[in-house]
Amino acid sequence: MNDLISIIIPAYNEAANIKPVHEAVQQEFASLSSPFELLFIDDGSSDPTLSTLQMLAGAHPEVKYISFTRNFGKEAAIIAGLDHAHGKAVIIMDADMQHPPSLIPQLLEGYREGYEQVVAKRNRNGEAKSRSFLSHLYYKLINRIIQVELHDGEGDFRLLGRKAVDSVLKMSEGNRFSKGLFSWIGFEQKTVYFENVERESGASKWSFRNLLNYGVEGVVSFNQKPLRICLYAGVISLVFALFYILAMAVQILRHGIDVPGYFTLISAVLFLGGVQLLSLGVIGEYVGRIYMETKNRPHYLVRETNTDEEQQ
């Protein structure tokens, strides 16, 4: 197979990992005798990631890089990579060797068999128990709520054929949740498996808060169900309130007013206030999204690149 393969690697403060990952990928392709380009996206790193990339690109013509003006996040880095990739197929992987390059031949084999998407799925061995428990729970819940299906252990490590890449790029939305988008576009899909490994050097950039935000993003970028839940909650509380008022009216007609009803009054006010606040929060979430989408901002800005196209 002589089609060009693009490898996209988002890198945020990964100076120490650039060379090892380049070497590992190079080794894989040496035995495959297939042409490849390695496209690093420096996501506004504050360490020598960019200078390492410049040096590497000087010595190896297959190394391309795009450097952002600031940290735009991994999602933006992935789109930048997809925008600039020339390959017939594209492989997205992390810089920290947690996505083993030794899986590349299997991904390519899937592509050769005709799959537009070949997904690498990892197990969660060696991961903090609390994190894998929360992830399991999250995937159970999210698959009940949203229209696309997400699988635990499947991340951004995957191969996309040209058609799949073009489809992902057609989606211009600003709030991006790649996992969902990859699932949303469909196409024939094959899964290959790999063992969870520790990152090569440096620390993970995900804090608990990041993960929580990512989780919320997953739910709200793919549906309007939270809005509907609000609606149901509103309807149910209204029905209860009406029954309560009716019961009270009957009581008063029968026995007259006997208790001041201070407690019930306060609890009703608090309860309804809570429901209203919740609804407002969810509505605000969507209004915020509409606001961001109407701005139609570019997903990223390029500071410097050695690819031939300028920024989109």
Q: Rule CB under 6 A: which residues touch ligand UDP?
A: 10-12, 14, 43, 71, 73-74, 77, 94-96, 98, 199, 204-206
In the complex with Mg ion, which residue's Cβ is closer, 83 or 94?
A: 94
Nearer to ligand UDP, 14 or 116 (CB): 14
Please enumerate in sequence order all residues whose Cβ is within 8 A of that of 72, keeping only pairs 6 or more positions apart, or say none.
43, 44, 299, 300, 301
124 near Mg ion (CB under 5 A) = no
What is the closest distance, in whole angstroms, from the C-beta atom of residue 4 to ligand UDP in the complex? 22
Indicate the residue among 11 and 230 with the shorter CB distance to ligand UDP: 11
Segment interacting with Mg ion (CB under 5 A) among 64-72, 87-95, 238-246, 274-282: 87-95
CA distance 190 to 195: 17
- Alpha-carbon separation of residue 237 from 131, 216, 243 (angstroms): 35, 25, 10
Of 14 and 116, the one with the shorter C-beta distance to Mg ion is 14
Residues whose CB is less than 8 angstroms from the CB of residue 142 and which lie 6 or more positions away in sequence, other chains included: 150, 215, 218, 219
Contact 306, 65 (CB under 8 A): yes
135: tokens are: 């992830």
In the list Mg ion, ligand UDP, none, the entry touching 14 (Cβ below 5 to 8 angstroms by class) is ligand UDP
Distance CA 174, CA 172 (A): 6
In the list Mg ion, ligand UDP, none, the entry touching 244 (Cβ below 5 to 8 angstroms by class) is none
Q: What is the maximum alpha-carbon separation in the chain?
A: 93
Q: CA–CA separation, 217 vs 78, rounded Å?
A: 17
Q: Which does 11 bind (CB under 5 to 8 A by kind): ligand UDP, Mg ion, none?
A: ligand UDP
Residue 205 interacts with Mg ion (CB under 5 A): yes or no: no
234 binds, among ligand UDP, Mg ion, none (CB under 5 to 8 A by kind): none
Contacting range for Mg ion; rule: CB under 5 A; set: 28-36, 88-96, 133-141, 234-242 = 88-96
**Interaction mask 249-278, Mg ion, x per CB under 5 A:** ------------------------------
Cβ count within 10 A of residue 47: 15
Q: Sheet with 302-305: list strands edge to edge.
A: 189-194, 117-122, 154-161, 89-92, 5-11, 36-42, 63-68, 302-305
Site for Mg ion in 93-122 (CB under 5 A): 94, 96, 98
Q: Which residue's CB is nearer to Mg ion, number 95 or number 230?
A: 95
- By beta-carbon proximity to ligand UDP, the closer residue of 96 and 116 is 96
Torsion of CA 175, 178, 181, 185, to 10 degrees: 140
Of 83 and 96, the one with the shorter C-beta distance to Mg ion is 96
Sign of CA dihedral 227, 229, 234, 238: positive
Residues at the site binding Mg ion, with contacts judged by CB under 5 A: 94, 96, 98, 199
